[in-house]
Structure 1
């Protein structure tokens, strides 16, 4: 939240980087930095599936899986900005979930890694057994981490976003089936309709909130009282 990258899983050389400071060299305006999952959660509460819902867990699943949390309608970052990082715990299945899709045994050699999930979901949609099994295992591992969030936060709604949201028609049923037995009180479950736009739209919302706060900050709008 202060512009420093505390930890970057995909680019470990960015750990400790003053990203806001680096970008401020090229931009003559305030620079804000935020976690991608938090931005996506912000969007869902703004114009997505979580409109009007106070307590939400947003699960962003693509190359890696993470979560952004809305508590009382506001993004919850935690003490050090790591709230929702259930995937760091090896006991839940998020660290291995995508391997079920990328390891699909009938994957054509010309399919790029970032296209693997979409290909497997498309094959599962046709009823192909190996693809359906891969999706089943993916849903099982995804449900483990979601259940941990649900048991800790008791959210009203869980929204699934990221690249897999384009295949909600295939994913939602097995995910619901694996999730419900793990929860004392299963939440509503929805798939984001914003696809890969949720994060960038969240950045827009973050900027708008920053402007609103400055425009309507009583301390800056009202003149200081004369002595």
Structure 2
């Protein structure tokens, strides 16, 4: 018989313990024998397998949480909607209707020299009306297609180059007139005219006109009698 602790012969075959120091230490509960160590190691291995197997089965039985993409991955960040305060309702500006065009003088219906002079006087009145209101249609209606001065004034007054709209007034006052008959239905009319610029202002609710400037001009009109009435074909200053 040999000792399992030291592999030496036992002193007494029937005695389970060997007298060697290592065997005695095993008998006293000190260092475990090799066979015992093997048994303990095998038991520890089995316990580890059982524990790992139990954890694996619990992990398999546990429901898996759904995976979500990290915030911002593959998606567009929504743009926050900015609420705007409603703008105030537009205030409707009340604009007074322009004054009607001046009525043609009675002499405009004549077919002689007096009719030609009336055409020149009326054209200046329509010029004053266009200056105050921007309404150039009556001025152009009395002008012939070849009157460049008439077209130029209509473009300035109707197109916004000169904007008065009642804040200032242009007034032509003829003081004398002469006319030359060309014996072909055309006339040359000369009008000596005082031209005044007036500024309008309100005092205690009453419109007051202030004289800004005044000059005297001599207008020369080329006037023709047509089948539909008089027309001004040209204007010049002398």
Query: Structures share a fold, TM > 0.5?
Result: no
Query: Which TM-score band applies after superposition, normalised by the shorter structure?
Result: under 0.3
In proportion to residue count, which structure has more helix?
A: 1
Greater RCO, 1 or 2 (C-alpha within 8 Å, sep 6+): 1
| TM-score, normalising length: structure 2 | 0.22
Larger Rg: 2
| TM-score, normalising length: structure 1 | 0.23
In proportion to residue count, which structure has more strand?
A: 2
